[in-house]
Amino acid sequence: MAASLQLNFKPFKPQFTHSISAPNKFSTRIRCSAATPSKSYTVTLLPGDGIGPEVISVARNALQLIASIEGIEFKFKEMPMGGAALDLTGVPLPEETLSAAKDSDAVLLGAIGGYKWDNNEKHLKPETGLLQLREGLKVFANLRPATVLSQLVDASTLKREVAEGVDLMVVRELTGGIYFGKPRGFGTNENGQEIGFNTEVYATYEVVLLTKVYLTTGCEPLVFLTVNLLSQIDRIARVAFETARKRRGKLCSVDKANVLEASMLWRKRVMEIASEYPDVELSHMYVDNAAMQLVRNPKQFDTIVTNNIFGDILSDEASMITGSIGMLPSASLGESGPGLFEPIHGSAPDIAGQDKANPLATLLSAAMLLKYGLGEEKAAQRIEAAVLNTLDRGYRTGDIYSAGLKLVGCKEMGEEVLKSIDSKVTAIA
């Protein structure tokens, strides 16, 4: 599994000193070392709502154990977000939370949302906080792997011969499209009837960056403003081509270019960027066909690149091929600064607080944090190997349970993964 999640991102690693500590139930397993940790990272934890705090607790314990094994140090900052933040501060993303996230090396999010806040105005919905966080961190590439593990083939709703061997990656553009396009809002038409409207927009550039450049001439410094135009489509296409290059060399660009002008531009730009990657096989597929093909023959896909809304939908569809949305992690990355890592499942308010959540997607998100966010490949492999070992030993939460296996809750599943990490210390040396 680890080999299918490789990218060539260079993590941005500023150093900070502030930390917030909390009691660790599994502290007896944390090794003490006479040597000072060689590296220190600040990680902002955003437990959020519903099952978020439960799964984040498991991931935190795993990261602490990994740190003691690898000789590194994590300084955790736990901050409110989503519905929890609304109840505490009146907004879904407090300024203090965004500031802490920006000042981190990486951000790990649990889940947000719940029935309690469903009827709030748009700017007071938990989901608005997530959009604001992505915008604030300037992350634009969302990577969502969907791999059918051999231990969970029978948990898939698809036939074994269809699901077995599926290993694909959805690369979703995060900053453009209908979620952010303007104009948007509510109004009335010529007949006085109420309407709601949104705009699907993609441009050959996204933002103008103004950078001050100072030149000393012997008198007073001269100030110039340099302008950089960043193409939304070009940069996500390059991430996708790089991803495909490190996987099996096949990239499928999904659009609706037979109807939508924004998709026509998308396809044009992707085809132009393809000339930079002659070693990657590029294909195109309309989104409706892609949705059908994902359940008909998912093994035909290696890497998929698509826009914001199509990626949102297709990646959730792909998750069910694997057997449960509770198994899939994601990473959201930018040009620099901290990445945002989160399971793709929601807050599951129906089972919140009942110790029924599956923490494996959050653990695998923590592995992606280590790999893509911090460049700690070996540490990431420890978590990935421990998840597989725990499944090999027959432990299952309710969403992936089959007769004859060991049904456990969120906490016990976390404990078993910690045991596997401990037992694998010499195996990955």
For residue 251, give every residue at least 6 positions away whose Cβ sits within 8 Å of its Cβ, in sequence order, or none.
240, 241, 243, 244, 280, 281, 282, 283, 302, 303, 304, 305
Residues with a known catalytic role: 179, 256, 288, 312, 316
- Expressed in percent and rounded to 5, the helix, strand and coil fractions of the chain are 40, 20, 35
Beta-carbon contacts of 230 under 8 Å, excluding residues fewer than 6 positions away, are 205, 206, 207, 209
How many residues does the structure list for the chain? 429
CB within 8 Å of 336: residues ≥ 6 apart: 12
Q: Give 262: exposed, middle or buried? Use CB within 10 Å, 0-12, 13-18, 19+.
A: buried
User: What are the backbone angles phi and psi of residue 251, rounded to the nearest 5°?
Assistant: -130, 130
Q: Which of 338, 428, 330, 410 has the alpha carbon at shortest distance from 66?
A: 428
Diameter of the chain by CA atoms? Answer: 82
DSSP string computed for 209-276: EEEEEEE--SSSPEEEEEEEE--HHHHHHHHHHHHHHTTTSEEEEEE-TTT-HHHHHHHHHHHHHHTT
Q: For residues 348 and 112, what is the distance between their CA atoms, to the nearest angstrom? A: 9
User: What's CA 21's distance to the chain center, in Å?
Assistant: 25
Q: By the 8 A CB rule, do 210 and 246 touch?
A: no
Can you say how many angstroms the Cα of residue 23 is from the centroid of all Cα atoms in its chain? 27
Cβ count near 310 (within 10 Å): 26
| Residue found by looking up tokens 């969403």 in the block | 399
The answer to whether the beta carbons of residues 179 and 308 sit under 8 Å apart is yes
Q: Tokens 């099996």 — which residue?
A: 248
Among residues 201, 203, 253, which one has the least CA distance to residue 229? 203
